[in-house]
Structure 1
Amino acid sequence: MKKLFTALLGVTLLVGCSDDASTDTESKKIPIVKEVNEALNDLPEYDLLAQYIDLSTYEADVESDNNGTRVIYFEDEEGQKGYKSVFVKKSNHLKLVSLDNDGLVYDNIIQ
């Protein structure tokens, strides 16, 4: 009886821990900005992004946004990534890359 109880307790703990771990992993994959490009308006790189990317066609998917850099992918309505933006916050350096055959679109410091 003790072995059965211990086994059930162990399985319950494992299932409980695995659910929490998967929830944490899933939450990290959720983009910060996905469907509302208007949220990009406050970013220092917004004007240049809007100049080179048709933001009515592409949705922003913020891959990462930490103290040093912000990486944004721009996806079409089918979920295909069309552009990648890398903004270095300390130096205000923006690099914009077209992920099709066009390659580098913009690579400069924002004033």
Structure 2
Amino acid sequence: MKKTGLLKVINLKGGGAVLETTVKADTTTPAPEAKPDAAPGQSASSINGLPEYKTLAGAVDLTDLTPVIVSDNYNNRTILLKDANGREQYKSVFVKKTGLLKVINLKGQGVVIETVVKEDTVTPAPEVKPEQKPEAKPEQPASTISSLPEYNTLSAHVDLNTLTPVVVSDNYNNRTILLKDANGHQQFKSIFVKRTNMLKIINLKGGQIFYGAAQ
């Protein structure tokens, strides 16, 4: 009976009550609750990706120390640095929002360094882009240039029926056309100066054959 502490033990084989008594509470101090082990230490290389690592390594010799991250939240990160015997030697506190880092010597020597961690501003190497060659313009039948102002004069001096024109340049000042035969060999070149309406036709096998105003 929980309320009175009464305990009755009965032999179910017919022996009746074996024991009927009041149970007294045991006042013995309970064994302490076992706590989980502390987070295992890590090698210094395990924190070398943190933004405060370089500044921390510059202020403290991490060679014989083991870092233990004891807290890491939205606001800050705290790291304990322990020696080979597990004794705490240094503590670093990094404030993420401001980049402020404080490193404290726990042996009573106070603050080792308090500074703002600057991000690595090394300029990345420029991206190397593959060399781009100008896209070759497709060859066209003579009819595609028939609307050009120099066409009539060009056709009067060159048989365009057997040649394929390729406009190789066409800008504000002039237009250059190459005329190729059926084998793709360049036979003639025309240069038309737009501002003066002058046309030059060159036989690539024998020199200039016309120079004058386009009709």
Give TM-score, length-normalised by structure 2. 0.39
1:63: how far off? 1.2
1:52: how far off? 1.3
Aligned-partner SS, 2:159: coil
Alignment of 1:1-16 (within 5 A): 14=128
Q: Which residue of 2 aligns with 1:65?
A: 170
Taking the aligned partners of 2:193 and 2:173, their CA distance within structure 1 comes to: 6
CA RMSD of aligned residues (A): 1.8
Letter in 1 for 2:203: S
Q: Which residue of 2 aligns with 1:92?
A: 197
Taking the aligned partners of 1:26 and 1:85, their CA distance within structure 2 comes to: 21
Q: Is the counterpart of residue 107 in structure 1 residue 203 in structure 2?
A: no
Of 33, 37, 51, the match for 2:142: 37
Taking the aligned partners of 2:140 and 2:170, their CA distance within structure 1 comes to: 17
Please say which structure displays the higher CA radius of gyration.
Answer: 2
Letter in 1 for 2:167: V
1:70: how far off? 0.4
Structure 1 gaps of 5+ residues are: 1-9
Taking the aligned partners of 1:35 and 1:90, their CA distance within structure 2 comes to: 25
Taking the aligned partners of 2:214 and 2:152, their CA distance within structure 1 comes to: 10
Deviations 1:13-56 (A, max 9, x none): 65xx42xx53xx242xx22x612221111100101111111112
**Structure ranking higher on relative contact order (CA contacts 8 Å, 6+ apart):** 1
Taking the aligned partners of 2:214 and 2:184, their CA distance within structure 1 comes to: 29
1:98: how far off? 0.5
Letter in 2 for 1:60: P
Aligned-partner SS, 1:67: coil
Taking every aligned residue pair, what percent have the same amino acid on both sides?
30
Q: How many residue pairs get matched?
A: 90
Taking the aligned partners of 2:168 and 2:153, their CA distance within structure 1 comes to: 19
Q: Which residue of 1 aligns with 2:152?
A: 47
Taking the aligned partners of 1:70 and 1:39, their CA distance within structure 2 comes to: 14
Greater share of residues in helix:
1
Letter in 1 for 2:208: L
Taking the aligned partners of 1:66 and 1:55, their CA distance within structure 2 comes to: 23
Q: Which residue of 2 aligns with 1:78?
A: 183
1:85: how far off? 0.2
